[in-house]
Amino acid sequence: MEKNYKTDQTMSPSNSDSKKNKSSNDIENKKISFPKNFYWGSATASHQVEGGNFNDWSEWEKNNADRLANQAKDRYGWMDIWEDIKPEVTDPNNYISGIACDHYNRYEEDFDLMRQLNLNAYRFSIEWSRIEPEEGKFNEKEIEHYKRFITALEKRGIEPFVTIWHWPIPLWLRDKGGWLSPDITRYFERYSKKLVEELPGVKYWITINEPHINSVQAYFRGEWPPAYKSFPKYHRVINNMIKTHNNTYKAIKKINPNLTVGIAKNNFGLIPYKNTFYNKIAKNIIDWWWNRRFLNKTQHSLDFIGLNYYFNEEKDVFGRDKKLPKEFSDMGFEINPKGIYSVLMQLKDYNKPIFITESGVADREDKIRKDYIYDILKSTHKAIQDGLGVRGHFYWSIIDNFEWDRGFAMKFGLIEVDYKNNLKRKVRDSGWYYGNIAKNNSLNL
Ligand code: BGC
């Protein structure tokens, strides 16, 4: 029977063993263990948590906050949480990143919380606009900041996984066309080399976060900066990203061949809407375009694949969603954590180590997050048993943060941030639940 995430009252947040009640066939006190040295982490991106950033996104926010607030009803009006979120999502301030979670200054406090949750890895991104605010001129003070940041992680035994680029770009690069610039690969490589040379303590590097999501939203759908609506531009950007990844990989390896370099790739499961011939063909084309093409073209420059998993989708022959999801998160995303299994298994073809570099759910009431984590991890464990080399899981996100064009109203955190009360942090029940799994390196069934 389909589980109804929204109405499953047996899953009270404080009842961490509630899974036991789920079915009489559940095996009492059974647990599944993860491989030795498994990385248990969480992830963030600089612009979403740091605060005080000045880049193409912060500029775009100022020009679009009113519009986003005015359009909130179209976006969320159909959802059962509409009345709850209305005050937030109709307020233009929701869409201005501002000081965000002030992670830039409060990182030690956040790292201490990660330790309390027994996490041994942290994926975060470095803010390009801080490091290179003017073309070719690096800001040594900001480099020092990230050095301190990484040392603070090392002191706590938390392995840094650094994303070189998680979406915003400096204004000088925006003015040169961003990812459409013919020189983007050279700029990206120069910036990446600087980071790798300056931060020798970092072993794991991720070049680009979700190339497809960013290029679709920013160059095809026109929803994110620079807000183009053009398939040819989107296509050019994706190809520039492929080239940039491959060249940057080589450049990093030249500095230190022992570093481990990968990508964070959003893949999703596709189910043909109606099992007709044309729908199956459409499914295969979308699957190739979205899930495989980038990996096919970068596979010789990947030491690992990072999977960002959020949903599966039913598509009809034109690639449109046909149905509203049965159960959905506060983002309106379908809730299908078990769907990660087939998406993971598809990666077997590449024969690389895998990290789940993101998976998480927007759940302001913390009602479904524990179930979600449970199902993601159980399905991941099944993939491991079926021969896939999954080396770690990073929950998105450690703290509530600025969810791009959705703003602060979307709550993804294992830790709640009280924006009305000095950005106070409070670990959610689901956070303790995840922390317990990390501590035991196993999941109670
Ligand atoms: C992105 C994150 C984002 C998350 C939730 C991922 O696509 O990498 O930056 O916050 O999804 O929407």
pLDDT digits (tens, 9 = 90+) for 98-110: 999 999 999 999 9
DSSP-derived secondary structure letter, 399: B
CA of 350 to the centre of ligand 1 (A): 24
Q: What is the pLDDT of residue 274?
A: 72
Residue to mutate (ligand 1; options 403, 410, 411; most atoms within 8 A of CB) = 403
Query: Helix (H, G, I), strand (E, B), or coil: what is residue 121?
Result: strand
How far apart are the C-alpha atoms of 359 and 378, rounded to whole Å? 13
Q: What is the pLDDT of residue 331?
A: 93
CA of 243 to the centre of ligand 1 (A): 23
Element (H, E) at 124: strand 121-125
Q: Which residues pair with 407 in a beta bridge?
A: 403
Residue 182, preceding bond cis, omega within 30 degrees? no
Per-residue confidence in pLDDT tens, the chain, 445 aa: 234 443 332 223 233 333 434 444 445 569 999 999 999 999 999 999 999 999 999 999 999 999 999 999 999 999 999 999 999 999 999 999 999 999 999 999 999 999 999 999 999 999 999 999 999 999 999 999 999 999 999 999 999 999 999 999 999 999 999 999 999 999 999 999 999 999 999 999 999 999 999 999 999 999 999 999 999 999 999 999 999 999 999 999 999 999 999 999 999 988 777 777 887 888 889 899 999 999 999 999 999 999 999 988 766 656 555 555 568 899 988 889 999 999 999 999 999 999 999 999 999 999 999 999 999 999 999 999 999 999 999 999 999 999 999 999 999 999 999 999 999 999 999 999 999 999 999 999 9
Residue to mutate (ligand 1; options 75, 358, 408, 411; most atoms within 8 A of CB) = 358
- The first and second tokens of residue 274, run together, are 């109606």
CA of 254 to the centre of ligand 1 (A): 31
CA of 273 to the centre of ligand 1 (A): 26
Q: What is the pLDDT of residue 22?
A: 43
CA of 209 to the centre of ligand 1 (A): 9
Minimum CA distance residue for ligand 1 atom 12: 403
Query: Helix (H, G, I), strand (E, B), or coil: what is residue 266?
Result: strand
Query: Helix (H, G, I), strand (E, B), or coil: what is residue 42?
Result: strand
Place of tokens 């020092």: 144
Ranges of H-type helices in 256-335: 277-286, 293-298
**Chain segment 270-325, per-residue pLDDT in tens:** 877 777 788 788 888 989 999 999 999 999 999 999 999 998 876 665 655 555 55
Q: Which residues of 230-254 are buried (b: 16+ CB within 10 A; e: fewer)?
A: eeebbebbbebbbebbbbbbebbee
CA of 20 to the centre of ligand 1 (A): 31
Provide the sign of the torsion angle of the four alpha carbons 143, 148, 151, 157, taken in this order. negative
**Residue 312 CB coordination number (10 Å):** 20
Nearest to 436, CA basis, from 16, 42, 156:
16
Q: What is the pLDDT of residue 333?
A: 87
Minimum CA distance residue for ligand 1 atom 5: 403
Which ligand 1 atom is at minimum distance from the Cα of 396? 4
Minimum CA distance residue for ligand 1 atom 3: 403
Nearest to 34, CA basis, from 393, 310, 283:
393
CA of 301 to the centre of ligand 1 (A): 24
CA of 24 to the centre of ligand 1 (A): 37
Place of tokens 């927007």: 362
Binding pocket residue ranges, ligand 1, CB within 6 Å: 45, 48, 209-210, 213, 266, 308, 358, 396, 403
Q: What is the pLDDT of residue 210?
A: 98
Spell out the residues 6+ positions from residue 141 whose beta carbon is closer than 8 angstroms to its own. none
How far apart are the C-alpha atoms of 9 and 114, rounded to whole Å? 29
Q: Which residues pair with 16 in a beta bridge?
A: none
How far apart are the C-alpha atoms of 74 and 230, rounded to whole Å? 24
CA of 362 to the centre of ligand 1 (A): 10
Place of tokens 């509203």: 324
**Residue 409 CB coordination number (10 Å):** 24
- The first and second tokens of residue 251, run together, are 């450049």
Minimum CA distance residue for ligand 1 atom 9: 45
Q: Dump the DSSP string for 136-180.
A: TB--HHHHHHHHHHHHHHHHTT-EEEEEEE-S---HHHHTTTGGG
Residue to mutate (ligand 1; options 290, 396, 397, 406; most atoms within 8 A of CB) = 396
Element (H, E) at 61: helix 56-70
CA 252 to mean position of chain CA atoms: 23
Question: What pTM does this model have?
Answer: 0.93
Q: At what angle do helices 140-155 and 184-198 cross, to 10 degrees?
A: 50
How far apart are the C-alpha atoms of 398 and 111, rounded to whole Å? 10
Minimum CA distance residue for ligand 1 atom 10: 403
The answer to whether 80 and 2 have CB atoms below 8 angstroms apart is no
Query: Helix (H, G, I), strand (E, B), or coil: what is residue 258?
Result: coil
Q: What is the pLDDT of residue 324?
A: 56
